[in-house]
Structure 1
Amino acid sequence: MDIFYSIQDWVISAGASPWALLATFALCIVDGFFPPFPSESIVIALAALTVSSQGPNLIILWAVAAVGAFIGDQVAYSIGKWIPVKKIPFLNRGRGARAYARAGALLLSHGPVFIMAARFIPIGRIAVNMGAGSIGYRRSTFSVVDALSSMMWAAYSVAIGIGAAHILEGHPLLAMLAGIVGGIIIGVIVSHLITFLQKRFFPERYAAAEKAAEEWSKNHLDGGADSPGTTHL
């Protein structure tokens, strides 16, 4: 994480420089398949800097973040498609394993909503996107949903940065911190909201998905088959 903080400090200090945008683009791609690099904080921080005319153009920042996020998600999908989950350390044990198992099961029942919501949850999006690749989720559908969610995620990150900077005008560091914390909170809220809606309006499907997640977790992570099958969504 020390490396990430060093990169983050450098990007923020670059401000309106084209190098800051290039670094943001690269980090958004890496964040799609490597969890220690949460790109939200970079996008939020740069957006906050624009309020004091020290950051990049907002439209360009949004476009760079959205395209980078889309490419990163596509890489994650490809990794899930071609590399067995047991060879991916952060997805074969603990929280990552549970997230991956649940993601695969829920993708089979209501994929588009789940893919879109997961984009706002750092570890969740990696598990979902790799899960989509591993279960054979149709790439054309995944790409359309992912494009929409990447644009929404980038807009939300930029908006949080601007809002935090206006509310805390004159205190740029506090604005950046508030924006980052806000992003984390919203991600958690989205996660819990999706779970609540699933339980409230689709109880049978949610229960089935939970059961499937448990069975898949046992089979997939304890020596069973590498995939529950192919979905044609």
Structure 2
Amino acid sequence: MDTLLQLGDLLLHIDKHLDVVIQQYGPWAYGLLFAIVFAETGLVVAPFLPGDSLLFIAGAYCATEHFNIWTLCIGLLVAAIAGNTVNYFIGRWIGKRVFSSKSRWIDQGALLKTHAFYEKHGGKTIIVARFLPIIRTFAPFVAGVSEMNFSRFQLFNVTGALLWVFSLVIAGYFFGNIPVIRQNLNVIVLIGIGAAAIPVVLAALYKIFQRNKI
């Protein structure tokens, strides 16, 4: 039981215990990071896993040569793209059954509106969601449920993954070993989340205002 609790704590806070993981598992640490990013982006039951902070700290360890930055970035990129793709297909598999359902409990009109929204604004949503924990996990799932065009989804999936992985790993590489930043990483991550979320919220409020004005 204690072993399971320790393992759970390690997975949930691997960004804080990465030095221990590197010491104990060596090159296998790459695989663990890739698996966590894949699960966090690919499984709707795993939004609690670390994402932004993990990439940033991993970048910091690249600067100390514990990781190779190209191996890390390419592996994380593949994991992030694959995770979103799996999540999309899970949503699409479920979505087909929901769309074809005649249940009175399911609002087909709302589903069709969601589908239309993702066809029009889904690209921006997929990219911005990369920088928003929890939303990052559910965005590709909803895109699949709403049957967003797969080619279009993949275009923004790859674009978002590139921006997310490289921006955070490179930021960690250059700034992750500065003591004041390392000690206040949680606050910095929250500020980053706020910076990504505020434009989305303002855009939504503006559209609501315009709709009510009309």
How does the TM-score come out when normalised to structure 2? Answer: 0.73
2-structure distance, mates of 1:103, 1:45? 36
How far did 1:183 drift?
Answer: 3.0
Q: Contact 1:107–1:132 at 8 Å: present in 2 too?
A: yes
Instruction: Kindly indicate whether residue 40 of structure 2 is the aligned counterpart of residue 31 of structure 1.
Output: yes
Residue 47 (structure 1) aligns with: 59
2-structure distance, mates of 1:103, 1:66? 28
1-structure distance, mates of 2:161, 2:47? 16
1-structure distance, mates of 2:187, 2:76? 19
Match for 1:6 among 7, 10, 13? 10
Q: Contact 1:79–1:130 at 8 Å: present in 2 too?
A: yes
Match for 1:82 among 88, 93, 106? 93
Residue 75 (structure 2) aligns with: 64
Gaps of 5+ in 1: 85-101, 209-233
1-structure distance, mates of 2:30, 2:114? 31
> One-letter code of the match for 1:52?
T
Q: Contact 1:50–1:58 at 8 Å: present in 2 too?
A: yes
> One-letter code of the match for 1:133?
G
Q: How does 1:1-233 map to 2 (within 5 A)?
A: 3-7=7-11, 8=14, 11-15=18-22, 17-32=26-41, 33=43, 34-53=46-65, 55-83=66-94, 106-168=117-179, 175=182, 177-200=183-206, 203=207, 207=211
Q: CA RMSD in A?
A: 3.3
Q: Contact 1:12–1:42 at 8 Å: present in 2 too?
A: no
2-structure distance, mates of 1:107, 1:117? 13
> One-letter code of the match for 1:58?
I
> One-letter code of the match for 2:165?
A
How far did 1:76 drift?
Answer: 1.1
Matched residue pairs, number?
187
How does the TM-score come out when normalised to structure 1? Answer: 0.67
Q: Contact 1:160–1:179 at 8 Å: present in 2 too?
A: no
Identity %: 22
2-structure distance, mates of 1:31, 1:129? 12
SS at match of 2:134: helix
> One-letter code of the match for 1:12?
D
Gaps of 5+ in 2: 96-112
SS at match of 1:15: helix
Change (3 A) 1:68 1:195: same
SS at match of 1:152: helix
How far did 1:14 drift?
Answer: 3.4
2-structure distance, mates of 1:154, 1:111? 20
> One-letter code of the match for 2:21?
A
How far did 1:107 drift?
Answer: 2.3
How far did 1:65 drift?
Answer: 1.2
Q: Contact 2:131–2:193 at 8 Å: present in 1 too?
A: yes
Larger radius of gyration, structure 1 or 2?
A: 2
How far did 1:153 drift?
Answer: 0.4
How far did 1:130 drift?
Answer: 0.7
